[in-house]
Amino acid sequence: MTDTPASPLPSSASAGIRRPLTVAAVQMVSTPDVAANLDAAARLIARAADDGARLVALPEYFCLLGQRDADKLAIRERDGDGPIQTFLAECAQRHRIWLLGGTVPLDSGSPTRVRNTSLLYGPDGTRRARYDKIHLFGFQRGAERFDESATIAAGRTPVVADVEGWRLGLSVCYDLRFPELYRTLSPVDLILVPSAFTYTTGQAHWDLLLRARAIENQCYVLAPAQGGEHPNGRRTWGRSMLVDPWGEVVACIDEGEGVAAGVVDPERIADVRQSLPALTHRVM
């Protein structure tokens, strides 16, 4: 297993020749039933792979959106060992794809908190990267209240991963609001943002934030999301999408289960960075 912090990887300029890569963001409406969620994920992964996706990404909390935030504690797994991690490894190997398991609750060493962890598996089923969500969502407006820090222990390390010459920056949901994280990862070719944005915050900011991160980092952004009415009464925003380095939306789905897929093209990145070399103009 390799969990690589951001700094040691080469810049995209020296990463070598990359070929266009078909990627897919899986949108789900996860429930408190882990088995049912894994069945739904397996079906959508297969659909994306059958349609030619080489990299498939699942949303945050794909395996569980419980009746209570603390429900995730009951299904926590040890790092490298557990049925959810086995499921991801087997799906990646079965379809011979790169698979990002949006987030998995991993043991943090605390009886009351887990790590909200994004795991990347290669086509051979081996784990290639682990990223623990750094920024924890907190929100309160009227009766709507969220406090991830009550059940999640924050990560500390930015992580990038190499997928067939593509430099991927890993992030999760609320991280999207912190551009300094992506500057730490920069330059990257593709940012992954598995998410479960609330309907309230998603309606206001989701599209804007995704496009902003793509524009300012001159890279693609792939954002698989939860999208719909969940059995626990929560409503998530959805709109899983792929955004290109100019901020144009390549593919998007609104609510409900589905797959948003498209091709990430190194020539598109090169063209944008050559015509507007903002990354080379940075002074801070």
At 32-84, the pLDDT tens digits run 999 999 999 999 999 999 999 999 999 999 999 999 999 999 999 999 999 99
Residues 25, 240: contact at Cβ < 8 Å?
A: yes
Mean pLDDT of 119-132: 98
Query: Active-site residues: which are they?
Result: 60, 133, 173
Only one residue has tokens 């940075």, namely: 282
- The mean predicted confidence, pLDDT, of the chain is 94
Distance CA 63, CA 42 (A): 11
Mean pLDDT of 161-177: 98
Paired residues of 99 in beta bridges: 56, 121
CA distance readout (Å), 106 to 10, 67, 115, 116: 29, 19, 5, 7
pLDDT at 15 over 90: no
Distance CA 228, CA 240 (A): 12
Reference 46, options 96, 6, 108, 83; nearest CA is 96
Domain boundaries, the chain: 20-279
CATH number of the domain located at residue range(s) 20-279 in this protein: 3.60.110.10
Tell me the whole-structure pTM to 2 decimals: 0.94
pLDDT at residue number 143: 82
- Which residues touch 154 (CB under 8 Å, ≥6 apart)? 132, 133, 134, 135, 136
Please, which pLDDT band fits residue 10 given cuts at 50, 70 and 90? very low
pLDDT at residue number 220: 98
Please, which pLDDT band fits residue 105 given cuts at 50, 70 and 90? very high
For 1-5, 78-82, 130-134, which range has the lowest pLDDT when averaged over its residues? 1-5
Mean pLDDT of 184-197: 98
DSSP 8-class letter at 8: T
pLDDT at residue number 3: 53
pLDDT at residue number 261: 98
